[in-house]
Amino acid sequence: MHIQNTSNSSLYPTSTVSSGTAAGDNGSVGTSFDSALKELNDWIKETPEQRMEDSVLASMGLTRQQFEQMSGPEKEKIAEKVRETVKKELRAQAEQAQAQASIKGVAAAASATNVLDASL
């Protein structure tokens, strides 16, 4: 379908993109959607710790499935690296939360001091 611009008589094609509800001849849209939906559902079911482990594995170029298929010694070596990285990340998050709590405490104390000074 074409739309004619009346100001200069040029023809502009309109978009022929479908809404994505129907798949092409090979069904790739439906397959891609099903795959993405399964991936999302699997991610939702994971705990934050599992997500962190998956992230560490991904940074090493591995998926959880590849990790699960590894041999004993190789798998244990990777598992130890993942544990150490997760521990470091959790420690860093705890330190950041503690620092933020400390900042909030200092701000609250300063605010209380300002209120006290204003009332004197």
Is the four-CA dihedral 57, 60, 65, 66 of positive or negative sign? negative
Please report, for the chain, the start and end positions of each structural domain, with discontinuous segments joined by +: 28-119
* pLDDT tens digits along 66-95: 999 998 899 999 999 999 998 998 899 999
Q: What pTM, to 2 d.p., does this model score?
A: 0.51
Residues of the chain with pLDDT under 50: 1-24
The predicted structure's pLDDT at residue 61? 94
- Enumerate the H helices of 1-71 as residue ranges: 28-45, 48-59, 64-68
The predicted structure's pLDDT at residue 16? 40
The predicted structure's pLDDT at residue 82? 92
